[in-house]
Amino acid sequence: MIHCICMVQEGQIAPAQEQALRRDTADFASRHFGSAPEFNWVTVGAGDGFTEAKPSNSVIVSMNADRSLAPSQREPLLRELCEIWERGAELSPNEVVTVIRDPQ
């Protein structure tokens, strides 16, 4: 099973954006790992997340793969997942952290 943890800041992602991000992230996982992920959507309360001593507007998307990945395989997947979230959440590359973990 593919697990995906999405950490976003409270009020950062509108409901329509969340639906589109879930859909696009599920499509990504299905294409690359053979199944849609189980989501754990975590909303960080207003004032609880900071970057450089300022309220954060970063997101973290962490997903496990269905197999071990070589760096040459992982890098383009990370780039694609990051672009999905940059576009869908209207964020810069510096505001999106993506992780693709090997299976446990």
For residue 104, what pLDDT band results from cuts at 50, 70 and 90?
confident
Phi, psi of 55 (to 5 degrees): -55, 135
User: What confidence tens digit (pLDDT) does each residue in 17-66 have?
Assistant: 999 999 999 999 999 999 999 999 999 888 776 777 776 789 999 999 99
8 - beta bridge partners? 43
Q: Please report the pLDDT score of residue 43 as a whole number.
A: 93
pLDDT at 3 > cutoff 90:
yes
CA 66 to CA 3: how far, in whole Å?
A: 10
Q: Does the CA dihedral 82-51-20-6 come out positive or negative?
A: positive
Do 102 and 64 meet the contact criterion of CB atoms below 8 Å apart? yes
What is the CATH architecture of 3-101? Answer: 2-Layer Sandwich (3.30)
pLDDT, greater one: 72 or 55: 72
